[in-house]
C-alpha cells in the first residue's frame, strides 16, 4: 500500500477529523481565531490521528469516541511543536514561518497552552477515564523528555540509552498513546491493546530515528526547515553520536558542542562539515538499520490481531515510515 | 476568624497536600528535580487548594479524592505563574528570582508544560470524569483569557465588561474550579454544588480586583514584586481604567499606552505618576467597593449550606480577601 491508499481507508473519518480540528479555531476573539487557524492549518501528515483511527478498527469501531481522541492526539502534537519552535527560536516549520516568528514568543507560549487544554477537553469528551488518564500521563512524559533534552543540550557525554530514553519520551509516547487509545475505545481485549500499544511505541522510535537521519540527509525543500537544526540546538541524535564515536578526532560535532558560544558563521561551517561527514560515511546506513529493526519489531505481533485492511495498513505504514523523505 | 484560624481548620489536610506537592519534584533527573523543587517551594498562600478542602467538608468528606484535586488546582496555578513570568520577562515573584530569570525562558516554558501535565494527572487520579472535564475546561478558559489579555495589551479601548471577562477567565475560573470540584467530590447535591461554584467565582473576581488595586497601593516588600507591573505590561486593570475615565487629560496611562516604545526611564516615570494619581484619588475606594460587592455576592447563598465551621471559614475568607495586603 502507498500512503495514499492507507489514508483512503480512513478517508471519511479524516474529513470529519479535519472539521473537528477546524472547529477549534472558531472562537469569538478575532486575533485568537487567526492565530489558531494558522497553527492548525500547518499541513502536517496527521499520522498520529490516523494511527488512532486505524487502531480503532479491529473490534467495536465507534467513530463518536475515536474522533475526539484522534483530535486530542493531533492537538497535543501541534501544541508541542508550537512550544518547541518558540523555545528553539525556529523561524520556519513545514515551509512556513513559525508562530513565534510571526506573533512572537509570548503568543506562541499561550497558544500552546490553549491547544494543550483543548486537547485535554477532547480526550475527556470520550467519557473514558482510562484514555483520559493515559492522555495526561503522556503529556507528562513528553514534557519530561523535552526538559531532559533541554538540560542535555550540548552535552557530549550521552549514551545510546540516553538517546533512546529521550526519543521514547518525546515521540514514541505519543505514537503509543495514539494506538493504545484507539484500541481501548474500540473495546479491544487487553492482549490486543498491548499489541497495538507496542506497535505505536516501536513505530514512534523508528519514526524519530528517521527524523534524525533526515535532519542530516534531507533537503530544506523536502523537510520544510533547515537541515542540521538538531546540531544547531545542541541535540545529540543517533547520527551525531555515531560520528562522535567513529569519526575523526578533530570532529566538528565535538568542536561545536565544546564551543557552544562560537560565532554563528563558524557554527554553520561546523554543521555543514558534520553533515558532509555523515553523508559520506556508513552512518546513515547504520542508523537506517536501527530504525528498520524497530519498525520490524513494531509489526511483529500484528499477526495476532484480526486480519483486516487496517492490519495491512499498519504494516505498510511501518515500511513507509522508514522510506519517507519528509 | 483570622487567616491562621481558617488554615488551622484544614491543618492536617494541608500538611498532606504539601507532601503531595513535594512528591512532584521527586524525579530521577537531578536538573529537573532542582527546577521543580524551586518552583513548588514558592511560598504561596495555597488559597486555591484550601478552597477545595473547605468546599469538600459539607457532605461526604473524602480526603482521598479531595487531596489529589487540591494538588491539581495548586499545580495548575503554579504552571500559569511560571508561564506568565516567562512571557512578561518578570525578574521577581514572591520576593524570589523567577524561574525564567534563573534558568531561562526555555526551561520555564517546559517546566510549565510539565506542571500542567502533572496537574492533569492528579485531576484524573480522582477517578471522577466530571471534575476531570471541569479541569481541562478551566485550563482552556485560563489560556484563552491570557491570550485575549495578550492581544489587548496597550489597548485603551476596553470596557468594564472586557476587564471583567478577562479576570473571570484568568482568575475566577480557577477559584470556581477549586470550590466546585470540592463540592462534587464530596457528593454535594446539585444545588449546593452551584452555590459553592458561584462562591468561588465571585470570590475570584474580588480577589483579582484587590490584586489589581495592590499593584498600585502595595509596597514591593509586601507584594514580593515591583508595583505598577500591570501598567508595565500594558494590562489595563480597573484602577487604571478609572484613571483614564476620570483623570486629567494629560493622563500618564494614556501616554504610556499610546507610546509603548518609549524609553524605559520615561516609562517608569509615567508608571510612578499613575500610581501617585491613583493613590491620591477616590479610585482606590471605588475599586474596593466593587471588590467588596463581589465578596458579598460570593457569601450571599452560603447560608443555604449546612452550618459548620467550614461555612464560617468561607465567609471569613471573603473578608480577608478584601483586607489582605499581599
Cell 484514555 belongs to residue: A131
Helix (H) or strand (E) holding B68: helix B63-88
Terminal Cα-to-Cα distance of chain B (whole angstroms): 18
Q: Is-contact B136 A135, C-beta < 8 A?
A: no
Report chain A residues touching chain B, CB-CB < 8 A: 27, 29, 31-32, 35, 83, 86-87, 105-107, 109-114, 116-118, 120-121, 123-125, 127, 129, 132-133, 135-137, 139-140, 142-144, 146-148, 150-151
Which pLDDT score, from 0 to 100, does residue B223 have? Answer: 79
| Residue A247 scores a pLDDT above 80 | no
Which of A224-233, A263-272, B205-214 shows the highest mean pLDDT?
B205-214
Q: Is-contact B318 B54, C-beta < 8 A?
A: no
Tell me how far apart the alpha carbons of residues A211 and A226 are, in angstroms, rounded to a whole number: 13
| Percentage of residues of chain B with pLDDT beyond 70 | 100
Query: Between B32, B137, B150, which is nearest A147 by CB?
Result: B32
Burial group, residue A29, by CB count within 10 angstroms (0-12, 13-18, 19+): middle
| Cell numbers given for B36 | 521543580
Tell me how far apart the alpha carbons of residues B225 and A184 are, in angstroms, rounded to a whole number: 48
The 10s digit of each residue's pLDDT in B278-296 is 999 999 999 999 999 999 9
Q: In this predicted model, which residue has the larger pLDDT, B152 or B250?
A: B152
Q: What angle do CA B108, B113, B115 make, to 5 degrees?
A: 95
| Residue A256 scores a pLDDT above 90 | yes
DSSP secondary structure, B258-287, as one string: HTTTS-HHHHHHHHHHHHHHHHTSSHHHHH
Which pLDDT score, from 0 to 100, does residue B220 have? Answer: 81
DSSP secondary structure, A196-260, as one string: HHHHHHHHHHHHHHHHHHHHHHS-HHHHSS-TTHHHHTT---HHHHHHHHHS-SS-HHHHHHHTT
Tell me how far apart the alpha carbons of residues A194 and B311 are, in angstroms, rounded to a whole number: 49
Query: Between A124, A140, A150, which is nearest B136 by CB?
Result: A124
Which pLDDT score, from 0 to 100, does residue A323 have? Answer: 93
Tell me how far apart the alpha carbons of residues A252 and A242 are, in angstroms, rounded to a whole number: 13
Query: What is the torsion angle, in degrees rounded to the nearest 10, for the CA atoms of residue A191, residue A75, residue B130 and residue A128?
Result: -20
Mean pLDDT across B190-206:
98
Report chain B residues touching chain A, CB-CB < 8 A: 27, 29, 31-32, 35, 83, 86-88, 105-107, 109-114, 116-118, 120-121, 123-125, 127, 129, 132-133, 135-137, 139-140, 142-144, 146-148, 150-151
Tell me how far apart the alpha carbons of residues A211 and A228 are, in angstroms, rounded to a whole number: 11
Tell me how far apart the alpha carbons of residues A104 and A112 are, in angstroms, rounded to a whole number: 13
CA distance B134 to chain A (A): 9
Which pLDDT score, from 0 to 100, does residue A248 have? Answer: 74
As beta bridge partners, residue A3 has none
Q: Is-contact A147 B110, C-beta < 8 A?
A: yes
pTM for the whole structure:
0.95
SS3 B227: coil
Which pLDDT score, from 0 to 100, does residue B164 have? Answer: 96
The 10s digit of each residue's pLDDT in B98-139 is 999 999 999 999 999 999 999 999 999 999 999 999 999 999
Contact (CB<8Å) A136/B124: yes
Which pLDDT score, from 0 to 100, does residue A325 have? Answer: 81
Domain A3-323 has CATH 3.40.50.2300: no
Contact (CB<8Å) B105/A105: yes
Which pLDDT score, from 0 to 100, does residue A36 have? Answer: 96
Residue of A nearest to B109 (CA): A109
**What number of helices (H) and strands (E) belong to chain B?**
18, 2
Contact (CB<8Å) B111/A147: yes
Contact (CB<8Å) B136/A143: no
The 10s digit of each residue's pLDDT in A105-155 is 999 999 999 999 999 999 999 999 999 999 999 999 999 999 988 998 999
Tell me how far apart the alpha carbons of residues B3 and B5 are, in angstroms, rounded to a whole number: 5
Query: Between B32, B110, B120, which is nearest A136 by CB?
Result: B120
Contact (CB<8Å) B120/A110: no
Mean pLDDT across A238-242:
96
Quote the distance between the C-alpha of residue B228 and its chain's center: 17
CA proximity to A113, closest of B114, B98, B38, B85? B114
| Residue B326 scores a pLDDT above 80 | no
Which pLDDT score, from 0 to 100, does residue A324 have? Answer: 87
**Which of A42-51, A201-210, B37-46, B219-228 is predicted with the least confidence, judged by mean pLDDT?**
B219-228
| Residue B167 scores a pLDDT above 80 | yes
Tell me how far apart the alpha carbons of residues B257 and B270 are, in angstroms, rounded to a whole number: 10
Which pLDDT score, from 0 to 100, does residue B45 have? Answer: 87
Residue spans of the domains in chain A: they are: 3-323
Residue A45's CB is within 10 A of a number of other CB atoms, namely: 12
Query: Between A110, A112, A147, which is nearest B114 by CB?
Result: A147
| Residue A326 scores a pLDDT above 80 | no
Query: pLDDT averaged over chain B?
Result: 94
Kindly list the distances between the CA atom of residue B258 and the CA atoms of A82, B9, B151, B159, B265, in Å, as whole numbers in the listed order.
Answer: 31, 49, 15, 17, 16
The 10s digit of each residue's pLDDT in A9-43 is 999 999 999 999 999 999 988 889 999 999 999 77
CA distance A25 to chain B (A): 12
Contact (CB<8Å) B147/A118: no
Terminal Cα-to-Cα distance of chain A (whole angstroms): 18
Domain B7-323 has CATH 1.10.600.10: yes
Which pLDDT score, from 0 to 100, does residue A222 have? Answer: 79
Tell me how far apart the alpha carbons of residues B318 and B309 are, in angstroms, rounded to a whole number: 14
Tell me how far apart the alpha carbons of residues B27 and A295 are, in angstroms, rounded to a whole number: 31
Which pLDDT score, from 0 to 100, does residue A43 have? Answer: 73
**What number of helices (H) and strands (E) belong to chain A?**
18, 2
Q: How confident is the model at residue A270 (pLDDT cuts 50, 70, 90)?
A: very high
| Residue B255 scores a pLDDT above 90 | yes
As beta bridge partners, residue B97 has B92
Contact (CB<8Å) B109/A123: no
CA proximity to A254, closest of A160, A166, A162, A157? A157
Which pLDDT score, from 0 to 100, does residue B36 have? Answer: 96
Which pLDDT score, from 0 to 100, does residue B106 have? Answer: 95
Tell me how far apart the alpha carbons of residues A106 and A43 are, in angstroms, rounded to a whole number: 23
Which pLDDT score, from 0 to 100, does residue B222 have? Answer: 80
Tell me how far apart the alpha carbons of residues B135 and B75 are, in angstroms, rounded to a whole number: 12
Q: Which residues of chain A lie closer than 8 angstroms to B125, CB-CB?
A: 133
Tell me how far apart the alpha carbons of residues A174 and A73 are, in angstroms, rounded to a whole number: 7
Q: How confident is the model at residue B312 (pLDDT cuts 50, 70, 90)?
A: very high
Q: How confident is the model at residue B75 (pLDDT cuts 50, 70, 90)?
A: very high
Which pLDDT score, from 0 to 100, does residue A155 have? Answer: 92
CA proximity to A207, closest of A186, A178, A228? A178
Helix (H) or strand (E) holding A97: strand A96-97
Q: Which residues of chain B lie closer than 8 angstroms to A107, CB-CB?
A: 147, 150
Tell me how far apart the alpha carbons of residues B170 and B212 are, in angstroms, rounded to a whole number: 13
| Residue A45 scores a pLDDT above 90 | no
Amino acid at each position: 500500500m502507498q500512503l495514499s491508499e492507507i489514508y483512503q481507508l480512513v478517508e471519511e473519518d479524516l474529513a470529519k477529523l479535519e472539521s473537528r480540528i477546524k472547529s477549534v479555531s472558531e472562537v469569538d476573539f478575532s486575533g485568537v481565531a487567526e492565530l489558531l487557524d494558522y497553527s492548525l492549518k500547518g499541513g502536517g501528515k496527521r499520522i498520529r490521528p490516523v494511527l488512532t483511527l486505524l487502531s480503532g478498527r479491529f473490534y467495536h469501531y465507534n467513530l463518536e469516541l475515536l474522533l475526539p481522541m484522534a483530535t486530542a492526539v493531533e492537538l497535543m502534537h501541534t501544541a508541542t511543536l508550537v512550544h518547541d519552535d518558540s523555545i528553539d527560536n525556529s523561524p520556519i516549520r513545514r515551509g512556513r514561518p513559525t508562530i513565534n516568528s510571526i506573533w512572537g514568543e509570548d503568543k506562541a507560549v499561550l497558544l500552546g497552552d490553549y491547544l494543550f487544554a483543548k486537547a485535554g477537553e477532547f480526550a475527556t469528551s470520550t467519557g473514558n477515564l482510562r484514555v483520559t488518564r493515559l492522555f495526561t500521563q503522556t503529556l507528562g512524559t513528553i514534557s519530561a523528555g523535552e526538559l531532559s533534552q533541554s538540560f542535555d543540550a550540548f552535552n557530549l557525554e550521552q549514551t545510546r540509552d540516553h538517546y533512546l530514553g529521550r526519543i521514547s519520551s518525546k515521540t514514541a509516547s505519543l505514537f503509543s498513546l495514539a494506538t493504545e487509545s484507539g484500541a481501548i475505545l474500540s473495546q479491544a481485549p487487553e492482549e490486543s491493546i498491548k499489541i497495538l500499544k507496542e506497535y505505536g511505541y516501536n513505530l514512534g522510535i523508528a519514526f524519530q530515528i528517521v527524523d534524525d537521519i533526515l535532519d542530516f540527509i534531507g533537503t530544506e525543500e523536502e523537510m520544510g526547515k533547515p537541515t542540521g537544526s538538531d546540531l544547531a540546538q545542541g541535540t545529540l541524535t543517533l547520527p551525531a553520536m555515531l560520528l562522535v564515536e567513529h569519526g575523526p578526532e578533530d570532529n566538528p560535532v565535538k568542536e561545536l558542542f565544546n564551543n557552544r558560544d562560537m560565532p554563528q558563521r563558524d557554527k554553520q561551517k561546523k554543521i555543514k562539515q558534520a553533515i558532509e561527514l555523515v553523508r559520506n560515511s556508513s552512518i546513515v546506513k547504520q542508523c537506517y538499520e536501527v530504525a528498520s529493526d524497530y519498525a520490524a519489531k513494531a509489526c511483529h505481533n500484528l499477526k495476532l490481531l484480526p486480519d483486516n485492511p487496517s492490519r495491512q495498513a499498519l504494516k505498510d505504514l511501518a515500511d513507509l515510515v522508514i522510506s519517507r523523505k519528509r
